[in-house]
Amino acid sequence: MDFILEVKDLHISFDTYAGEVKAVRGVDFHLRKGETLAIVGESGSGKSVTSKSIMRLIPDPPGRIVKGEVLFEGKDLVKLREKEMQTIRGSEISMIFQDPMTSLNPTMTVGKQIVEGLVKHQRLGKIEAKQRALELLKLVGIPNPEIRVNQYPHQFSGGMRQRVVIAVALACNPKVLIADEPTTALDVTIQAQILDLMKDLQKQMDTAIIIITHDLGVVANIAQRVAVMYAGNIIETGTVDEIFYQPKHPYTWGLLASMPKLHTKKGELVAIAGTPPDLVSPPLGCSFAPRCPYVMEVCVSYMPDYKKSSRTQYAACWLQDERAPKIEPPWEAAG
Ligand code: SF4
Ligand code: MG
C-alpha cells in the first residue's frame, strides 16, 4: 500500500455545557511515505484536534472520536488499546508542538530526555543511547553537543530548544512526524532555520510530515500538498502549486488574500470578514456560507460535495458545479 497514514471520515466531538461541539466533521486525508502535508486553517478549524487524534491525545472526556478510522500502515489506531498505542506514540509517530517548553521536561537534562526514548523504544543500552543522543544533537545543529547534552532546557534559547524537541521527536526514527505550529513561537530568521532543518532531516530519514499551521508562508516553504480546513471539514485540498495558483474555494481565496505580498493588490491586506460558525449547531449547508461573498441560495440548504479539478485537487463548493456562475478569484492571478 502506498499510504503510510490514511484518515477516513473522522468525526470528533467535545461535550460542553453549551452542548456537543462537533469539532471535526468527516475529515479524510492521506499521507505518503516521505511527503509533507500541510493542514491550514484559522484557529478553531479543527486542525490541531485532527492531528492530536492521530496520536490519540484528545482528552476523553470531554473529547471523543465519534467515528472514523486512522489507518497507520493499514492498522486502525482508533481501535488500539492504550497500551498498544504507547508503542506507536513517540516511536512510529512523533509529535512536536508550538511551545518547546511544553514538550520538554524542565527538570531533566536534554541528553537524558533523548536517552529515555531510545532506551524505552529502541532498547538501546545506556552507553549506546548516550552516544546516539550526542549524534542527534549534532544532527539538529546544536553546537558543542558534548557540553549541551548535560544541560537543562532553560539553558537553551527558543530556537535551540525547538532543535532539541526535534531531536527528541526524531530519536526513534519515526515514520510520521506531526508538527503543530512548530515555528509560530520563534522569530522569522529562526523560523526559516527550523523549517530548513526539518526538510533536511526528512530527506535523510524519509519521514512523512504533517505540518499544522495558519501561516501560508510556512506552507510554501515546506509542504508538497495542502489541506485547507474550515469549521471541522477539509474544504479544499491540492498540491502547493494548485492551492497557491489555482485555488477553487472562496475560503482559500480569503486565506490567500489575507497573506502579505503574494496575492494582494497594491499591498493591501484583506481579512476575511465575520467569524466561523458555532459548531454546536453547524450550518445545514456550506459552513462558509455566512461569510462567503459568493453565497447562492443552494449553499444555505445543501452541503456541497467534493468536486475534482485535477488528479490531486478537490474542493467542496457549489461554484464548482457546472450550473454555477463562473467566478474568478478576486486578485490578479499570480505566477
Ligand atoms: Fe460560498 Fe456557496 Fe461555495 Fe460555500 S458553497 S464557499 S457559500 S459559493
Ligand atoms: Mg492549534
- What distances in angstroms separate CA 231 from CA 40, 209, 237, 252, 278, one per listed residue? 12, 23, 15, 13, 8
For ligand 1, say whether the CB of 318 is within 6 Å of any of its atoms.
yes
Domain 3-223 CATH superfamily: P-loop containing nucleotide triphosphate hydrolases (3.40.50.300)
For ligand 1, say whether the CB of 292 is within 6 Å of any of its atoms.
yes
99-108, 221-230, 297-306: the lowest-pLDDT one: 99-108
Tell me the H-state helices in the chain: 47-54, 82-88, 100-103, 110-121, 126-139, 145-148, 158-170, 188-205, 216-222, 240-245, 250-257, 297-301
For ligand 1, say whether the CB of 80 is within 6 Å of any of its atoms.
no
Provide the residue ranges of all domains of the chain, joining segments of one domain with +.
Answer: 3-223, 249-320
Q: Which pLDDT does position 335 carry in this prediction?
A: 40
Q: Quick check: helix, strand or coil at residue 18?
A: coil
Residues near 67 by beta carbon (within 8 Å), at least 6 away in sequence = 9, 10, 11
For ligand 1, say whether the CB of 85 is within 6 Å of any of its atoms.
no
For ligand 1, say whether the CB of 97 is within 6 Å of any of its atoms.
no
For ligand 1, say whether the CB of 317 is within 6 Å of any of its atoms.
yes
What are the percentages of helix, strand and coil residues in the chain, rounded to 5?
35, 25, 40
Q: Which pLDDT tens digit goes with each residue over 192-209?
A: 999 999 999 999 999 999
Q: How far is the CA of 313 from the centre of ligand 2 (A)?
A: 24
Q: Which pLDDT tens digit goes with each residue over 246-273?
A: 999 999 999 998 877 654 455 455 678 8
Q: Given the C-alpha cell 486542525, which residue does it identify?
A: 47
Q: How far is the CA of 221 from the centre of ligand 1 (A)?
A: 29
Q: How far is the CA of 270 from the centre of ligand 2 (A)?
A: 22
Q: How far is the CA of 212 from the centre of ligand 2 (A)?
A: 8
38-52, 63-77, 253-267, 295-309: the lowest-pLDDT one: 253-267
Q: How far is the CA of 268 from the centre of ligand 2 (A)?
A: 26
Please give the share of the chain, as a percent, with pLDDT higher than 90.
78
